[in-house]
Amino acid sequence: MRHHLATVLGLVASTSLVACSGGDTGKGTQNVTGNDGGGTGGSSNYVPPTGAPVSAPDGTWTWVPVDGAKCRDGSQAGFAVNMNSSTDKVMIFLEGGGACYNQATCGANPSTYNPSGVSTINGGLLDRAAAANPVKDWNMVYVPFCTGDVHAGSAEDVTVPGVAAKQQFVGYKNMELFLDRIVPTFPKPSQVLHTGISAGGFGAALTAQLVSRKFPPGTNITLIDDSGPPMNDTVLPPCLQGGWKDTWGFENTFLKDCGADCPDHTNYSIDWSFHLTKLFPKAKGGLIETTDDSVITLFYGFGTNNCAASPASFPPPVPEADFKAGLLDFRSQVQAKNITNFGTYFITGTQHTWLHDSASFAKDVGGVKLVDWLTNILNGTSADQVGP
């Protein structure tokens, strides 16, 4: 079951998640110009977009190819939009689907994207017909995943042992190009939700500062990470974090932004998370994760025994007790730091990802429905700690 899920869904890869794009800047952060904007907006070194706005009809998915953007096999990349001209709110949704780190994971991860797939985008936060969907009437942007680097890499012509072709890990560079079109399309949004599932959950967290930098100062940006959990180095050892960093070029992307807040570039998962909460202390955000996530536990298993697993096959998963302990450790650190703007919604079980499935809105943990927890974060009313 676990191996099947990993083969079909692939997985994710990196670190982190935390608060949100937008907000006041914390003391000691790197390369930041603070904004107030109601406490939820903000821009760390605002970089105005350079591209042209997208023109598309309302209510249908439209593919937008972007010059210079590419998948890991070098083919054309882009994004899709589903517009609603009656609102200025916008959701940016990052697709999941694996990661390319070694022979086994690259074989389970898509290396290209067929634009015809945009016609089938639906479900969960992307479902306009779901009455419970809190963003059903928003403008929607869908970022496919074909770079194998959890949307956060900047490394070209990379050789991965056991994989014949050189790889283009340029997810972060693509996001910069995409934002140069997305931001002019929605130049003054009253709210932005930056989110994703699995690799897209990691990607939303790892590109949060980039998104904040592209939108105008004062923009209200919320981050929700579905199934991209930060972990301490007991569960996510330095050999694995460092391997991802080297393969995908993280030194040139979010780690460069993190600066002194991420002193060890082989152990940055938790540090990046708290860099974001410090950078945006008033913006609300959250993490959704299952205590025995059948895909993430398998992927993190590559770190077992100092990354001794064969790169040609999937290893045994991280035991549920250890994975759950890692989640609870992250939550306890959030609480110990008195971070009240970042919530967690932990669910007992093995399911991988939630926000792509409209039925998940009704999920109830301890009397709190997932949709209510999410809506409270979007409304800015609370960011609660729910679950075991």
- DSSP code of residue 61: E
Residue 47 has what pLDDT? 87
pLDDT of residue 165 exceeding 80: yes
Give the range among 38-42, 69-73, 213-217, 248-252 with minimum mean pLDDT.
Answer: 38-42
Q: Which helix (H) or strand (E) holds 156?
A: strand 155-158
Question: Could you please report the per-residue DSSP string of 310-338?
Answer: -TTSPPPPPPHHHHHHHHHHHHHHHHHTT
Q: Mean pLDDT of all residues in the chain?
A: 90
Domain of residue 197, CATH code: 3.40.50.1820
Residue 44 has what pLDDT? 58
- Cα separation, 286 vs 277, in Å, equals 11
- Determine the residue type at 235: V
Residue 179 has what pLDDT? 98
pLDDT of residue 37 exceeding 60: no
Q: Which residue has the higher pLDDT, 2 or 225?
A: 225
pLDDT of residue 362 exceeding 70: yes
Show the tokens assigned to 338. Answer: 């008195």
- Are 206 and 14 in contact, with CB atoms under 8 Å apart? yes
3-class DSSP state of 114: coil
Residue 118 has what pLDDT? 95
3-class DSSP state of 234: coil
pLDDT of residue 237 exceeding 80: yes
- Alpha carbon of 190 to those of 213, 243, 374: distances in Å? 16, 39, 18
- Determine the residue type at 202: F
pLDDT in tens, 184-198: 999 999 999 999 999
The candidate with the shortest Cα–Cα distance to 230, out of 330, 118, 130, is 330
pLDDT of residue 199 exceeding 60: yes
Q: Please compute the mean of the pLDDT values over residues 103-116 and round it to a whole number.
A: 96
pLDDT of residue 26 exceeding 80: no
3-state secondary structure 73-113: CCCEEEEEEEECCCCCCEEEEECCCCCCCCHHHHHCCCCCC
Helix axes 199-206, 171-185, angle to 10 degrees: 70
Positive or negative, the CA dihedral 363, 369, 372, 373 is negative
What does residue 66 show for φ and ψ, rounded to 5 degrees? -125, 125
Q: Which structural domain range is residue 285 located in?
A: 2-386
pLDDT confidence bin for 43, thresholds 50/70/90: low
pLDDT in tens, 242-268: 999 999 999 999 999 999 999 999 999
- Alpha carbon of 128 to those of 11, 82, 136, 140, 252: distances in Å? 26, 10, 4, 10, 37
Residue 45 has what pLDDT? 82
pLDDT of residue 16 exceeding 80: no
Q: Which residue has the higher pLDDT, 302 or 28?
A: 302
- Are 151 and 173 in contact, with CB atoms under 8 Å apart? no
To the nearest whole percent, how much of the chain has pLDDT over 70?
A: 89
- Are 172 and 210 in contact, with CB atoms under 8 Å apart? yes
pLDDT of residue 213 exceeding 50: yes
Q: Which residue has the higher pLDDT, 14 or 323?
A: 323
Structural domains counted in the chain: 1
pLDDT of residue 387 exceeding 90: yes
- Alpha carbon of 215 to those of 52, 144, 185, 260, 263: distances in Å? 14, 21, 11, 24, 28
pLDDT in tens, 286-325: 999 999 999 999 999 999 999 999 999 999 999 999 999 9
Q: How many residues does the chain have?
A: 388
pLDDT of residue 156 exceeding 70: yes
